[in-house]
Structure 1
């Protein structure tokens, strides 16, 4: 560590500034800035000298300070409701890879699916001068919508929906996907098909997936029974404790809105001596690695989780750079598939 710069002692308790780097390298602060930002308009010898000083002083550029000058911090905030859920972690991987490609840094904030904490982490990210935000929450509350409008920075929803279509989003056609899953169960002779998801106040469940479920029942002259619609948590335990209620309703098949939830139902049914798929069938929604870990392997909608995250991040970069984005109603719809495995006949 260099202890003096032009006769002035360095205070080791304070971070090195760009001014101290310029003084030590005997170049202007503008030249140091150009070196840091990879600007080619710097002589090789000068670049080498500046980089040597940066290493000796252990200088770390302050992204926020740079952002105040350039009005860009090249930092993006990502709000994730449950960092342990493989659905969201798969989305986050796609986001991170594209962020790295376009030289953006990611600040990941876990909201724990708590509406108040979502607002808190949003304001924390805004205080860090992020250039844009990707939101992976299940619901855009009125307060969140108000804060987004107030912030006036690019904002994209990944893997969920804005039913008002006011906010840019990337997802699949959840109605059509739900229809395909439930139609397969009906074609196998099931009429007592349960719809199991997170809260129906979340548009992805109450407005899209549930509509697809109802559409297929109607087209097959099966009366919709609201008692076969179950709201619960997005986790394994919630599915595990649900089997007694499903069994009591005479359910022979389930369409589940989450893979962890589906795995809990599947294991609990088998623990009760139920044969899958002979006596009970189940289709899940996200095709995460859990669908292949459990036995039997679960049939699933193949939602392109990584791609949704990647496209959402690319969408955000275009917005941040004011590039033209061709979308309908601010929404990018990606293709989905359906893979039959051993939990369906």
Structure 2
């Protein structure tokens, strides 16, 4: 049978109320009495019932996190930032993998809310009307991490994806390239895929370079889709001389496809990626990329959520973090130039 608070009280020779005060770190307990209770807890191996404590306090000190793909380097680093700040503020997290499936996302949101989490962090490619309906029924704060809703009803933490794409494309154009290709994510994704496509087109227009749809390919942010897209681009009558890939994994696939074709990066084709995950500094040549503050996206999201849960003042519920252009060896313009 599990050890109960009654067993601890009897062992220590105190009331159950005194045990409760010790467990909940109430300062109004004499040091000698506190020691007796703690010694009894250790001898008996008592573990407080978190569910019962949550019912009493109306708080579970638990945060739900819905994440698209925990195996992806980007989301893994975001999750690390979330967990570090959660630990700092004594919250536990329930991490749920949605596999980027809308129905699964909705099911996980409802399940976490049913489990009485104190707050929810949501990461996904799109906040649909169904998502909004689910969020609208929540009685706890919700923060959108690396995503947002088109009405800005819920607090969010992001970077400026369109401007980041402008910066990446402009770098390639400034190298003198006029046939610059884009390999992005699905254009139906309003957070990443479409804004990066918009930024690419905006940079071309600013430099007076005509947009040519044949240089645009849609992948899924993964290595294989980058390689396959680059093989298609290399088969064109007039292949691109530079490529902006909207993820580092796809950019590495691009580099390998170029090398398989007997060409060199960046001498024949310049390549720039997006995210600055670890693989960008492992591939050869080293990958130039747009650095997202992945850890900070998670950490700032969790800190914002703690403020909302504790009803602290929030100056701006919609946070835009800074990205950075990291120049390495895969572009003709390199660090220090």
Q: TM tier, shorter chain?
A: over 0.9
Deviation digits for residues 24-46 of structure 1, max 9, x if unmatched? 33333332232223222221222
Deviation digits for residues 147-191 of structure 1, max 9, x if unmatched? 111123111122233333222111111122111111000111222
User: For residues 143 and 318 of structure 1, do their structure 2 counterparts lie closer, same or farther at Cα, with a shift above 3 Å needed?
Assistant: same
Tell me the equivalent position of 2:33. Answer: 46
* Alignment counterpart, residue 276 of structure 2, candidates 281, 287, 290: 287
Asked whether the equivalents of residues 288 and 328 of structure 2 are also in contact (C-alpha less than 8 Å), the reply is: yes
Tell me the equivalent position of 2:247. Answer: 258
Pair 1:27-2:8 in alignment: no
Whole-angstrom distance in 2 between the partners of 1:22 and 1:201: 60
User: For residues 37 and 253 of structure 1, do their structure 2 counterparts lie closer, same or farther at Cα, with a shift above 3 Å needed?
Assistant: farther
Tell me the equivalent position of 1:310. Answer: 299
Secondary structure in 2 matching 1:78: strand
Asked whether the equivalents of residues 285 and 301 of structure 1 are also in contact (C-alpha less than 8 Å), the reply is: yes
Whole-angstrom distance in 1 between the partners of 2:153 and 2:233: 37
Deviation digits for residues 123-166 of structure 1, max 9, x if unmatched? 22222211011112222122122111112311112223333322
Report the TM-score, using the length of structure 2 for normalisation. Answer: 0.93
Secondary structure in 2 matching 1:90: helix
Secondary structure in 2 matching 1:322: coil
Asked whether the equivalents of residues 77 and 133 of structure 1 are also in contact (C-alpha less than 8 Å), the reply is: yes
Secondary structure in 2 matching 1:77: strand
Secondary structure in 1 matching 2:117: coil
What is the aligned length? Answer: 330
User: For residues 253 and 113 of structure 1, do their structure 2 counterparts lie closer, same or farther at Cα, with a shift above 3 Å needed?
Assistant: same
Pair 1:298-2:292 in alignment: no
Kindly state the Cα deviation for residue 316 of structure 1 after the two structures are TM-superposed: 0.2
Secondary structure in 1 matching 2:81: helix
Secondary structure in 1 matching 2:192: helix
Tell me the equivalent position of 2:335. Answer: none
Kindly state the Cα deviation for residue 90 of structure 1 after the two structures are TM-superposed: 0.7
User: For residues 231 and 70 of structure 1, do their structure 2 counterparts lie closer, same or farther at Cα, with a shift above 3 Å needed?
Assistant: same
Pair 1:107-2:94 in alignment: yes
1:1-345 matched pairs, under 5 angstroms: 11=1, 15-249=2-236, 250-327=239-316, 330-345=317-332
Deviation digits for residues 14-67 of structure 1, max 9, x if unmatched? x33334333433333332232223222221222222222222332222323221
Whole-angstrom distance in 2 between the partners of 1:137 and 1:62: 33
Kindly state the Cα deviation for residue 305 of structure 1 after the two structures are TM-superposed: 0.9
Secondary structure in 2 matching 1:242: helix
Asked whether the equivalents of residues 64 and 129 of structure 1 are also in contact (C-alpha less than 8 Å), the reply is: no
Q: Alpha carbon RMSD of aligned pairs, Å?
A: 1.7
Whole-angstrom distance in 2 between the partners of 1:231 and 1:33: 58
Kindly state the Cα deviation for residue 280 of structure 1 after the two structures are TM-superposed: 1.0
Asked whether the equivalents of residues 194 and 229 of structure 1 are also in contact (C-alpha less than 8 Å), the reply is: yes
Comparing 36-45 with 335-344, greater Cα deviation is found at: 36-45
Asked whether the equivalents of residues 186 and 219 of structure 2 are also in contact (C-alpha less than 8 Å), the reply is: yes
Asked whether the equivalents of residues 94 and 308 of structure 1 are also in contact (C-alpha less than 8 Å), the reply is: yes
Which consecutive unaligned segments of at least 5 residues does structure 1 have? 1-10
Secondary structure in 1 matching 2:137: helix
Whole-angstrom distance in 1 between the partners of 2:128 and 2:6: 45
Whole-angstrom distance in 2 between the partners of 1:226 and 1:16: 68
Kindly state the Cα deviation for residue 204 of structure 1 after the two structures are TM-superposed: 1.9
Kindly state the Cα deviation for residue 225 of structure 1 after the two structures are TM-superposed: 2.3
Report the TM-score, using the length of structure 1 for normalisation. Answer: 0.91
Asked whether the equivalents of residues 253 and 280 of structure 1 are also in contact (C-alpha less than 8 Å), the reply is: yes
Kindly state the Cα deviation for residue 206 of structure 1 after the two structures are TM-superposed: 4.3
